[in-house]
Amino acid sequence: MSETQGDAEPATRAFLKTLRADASRRFWAGGRFAFFHAWGKLGGDPIFRELLRRGLLPSGARLLDLGCGQGCLFAWLLAAQSLSERGQWLPDWPPAPSFQYLRGVELLPRDVERAAATFGGHPLVQVEQGDMTQVDIGSVDAVTILDALHYVDHAAQERLLQRIRAALPPGGLFLTRVGDASAGWSFRMSNWVDRAVTLARSHQPPHLFCRSLGEWQALLTGLGFEVDTEPMSEGKTFANVMLVCRAPA
Ligand SMILES: C[S@@+](CC[C@H](N)C(=O)[O-])C[C@H]1O[C@@H](n2cnc3c(N)ncnc32)[C@H](O)[C@@H]1O
C-alpha cells in the first residue's frame, strides 16, 4: 500500500522535506536548471520515496542506472545515506542502503555535463555518456531503468533486458518503471507528455516503443525474472507501473 506524501505523518513529511532539500542542493553546482529539475522531480515523483520506504535496493550494492539523466537518483540515495549516518532516519523504515558504487549511463551530453558538475570527484559516483543498448553492463548487483526503456526499439529492449538478466547474480535486482500501453486515456496522456518533453530536450522527433503491462511481465518472466508490479504515478494522471524484478536466489 503506498503512502502519499500528503497523507504521511508529520515526522515523515518533515523527513522527506529534508531529504529532498539535501539531495537537490547538490545540483546547485550544475546550475539553476539542474537544481530546479531535481527539486521538482524529487518532490513530485513517488518512486524515489518508495525505493527507500520499501527497502528495495540491496545494501552494499554495485548499482547501475541506465538512462540516468542528470543523476537525481544518485543524489537522493547519497542524501539518504548521509541522513542515516547522522542518525536522522525514520525508525519504521528499513535501513538506508549503502553502495559500493553508483554508475550511470546517459545518452544526452547536456545531462552528463550537469551530472559531472554535480558529482565530479565523488568517490562513489560515475556518470558516463553512452547508449544503454551498447554499454558494457559490467559487474552489478542492481540495475535501474526509470522511464527510459521505451526510448529504444522493441528488439533493442529485449537484447538489453537479456544482458541485464545475464549480468545479475542470484538474488540480483532489476527495477524499472514503464507506462502501461493498455491503460487507455491515462497512458495516452503520459505518452503525449513524454513526446513533448523528448522533443524539447533532444530536438528530435520522438519515437517511443511501448508495451502493455502484460507484455512487459511476459517478457521479463520469460527471461527468468520473478516480477512484482506496483502502480507508480501517484498524484498524476499517468499509467506508470514499477516493475520489481529479481533474479531467483
Ligand atoms: C524520462 S528521462 C528519465 C531520467 C532518469 N531516469 C530519471 O528518472 O530522472 C529518460 C532518460 O533516458 C535517456 N535515454 C534515452 N535513450 C537512451 C539510451 N539509448 N541510452 C541512454 N540513455 C537514454 C534520455 O536522454 C533521458 O535522460
Examine the domain organization and report whether 13 and 103 are in the same domain: yes
R_g over Cα of the chain: 17
Contact status, residue 181 vs residue 216, Cβ threshold 8 Å = no
Structural domain for 127, as ranges: 1-139
Q: Which pairing describes strands 240-246 and 173-179: parallel, antiparallel, or unpaired?
A: antiparallel
Whether residue 249 sits in one domain with residue 159: yes
pLDDT of residue 3 exceeding 50, the answer is: no
Query: pLDDT value at position 237?
Result: 65
Taking the CB of residue 59, how many other CB atoms lie within 10 A of it? 14
Amino acid found at 126: Q
Report whether pLDDT(1) > 50.
Answer: no
Q: Which residue, 139, 153, 6, 150, is CA-closest to 63?
A: 139
Q: 4 CA distance to ligand 1 centroid (A)?
A: 26
210 lines ligand 1 (CB under 6 A): no
Average pLDDT rounded to a whole number, residues 79-104: 97
Residue of 63, 107, 240 to mutate, ligand 1, most atoms within 8 A of C-beta? 107
Confidence of residue 5 (pLDDT cuts 50, 70, 90): low
Distances (CA, A) of 218 to 9, 181, 184, 223: 38, 14, 20, 9
> What's the pLDDT score for residue 4?
47
> What pairing do the DSSP bridges indicate for beta strands 125-129 and 99-106?
parallel
Total domains in the chain come to 2
Q: What residues form DSSP beta bridges with 240?
A: 179
pLDDT band, very low/low/confident/very high, at 7 (cuts 50, 70, 90): low
Check whether residue 102 and residue 194 sit in a common domain.
no
The answer on pLDDT for 83 being more than 90 is yes
* pLDDT tens, position by position, 109-128: 999 999 999 999 899 999 99
Residue 194 CA: nearest ligand 1 atom is: 1
Partnered with residue 176 across adjacent β-strands are 145, 243
Q: What atom of ligand 1 comes closest to residue 135's alpha carbon?
A: 20
| Domain shared by 124 and 178, yes or no | no
> Which of 176-180, 187-191, 213-217 is least confident?
187-191
The set of residues, in sequence order, having a beta carbon less than 8 Å from that of 151 and lying 6+ positions away, is 67, 107, 198, 207, 208, 209
Shared domain for 50 and 166, answered yes or no, is: no
Residue 19 in this model has a pLDDT that exceeds 70: yes
Residue 228 and residue 116 in one domain: no
Same domain flag for 87 and 162: no
- Ligand 1 centre to CA of 66 (Å) is 7
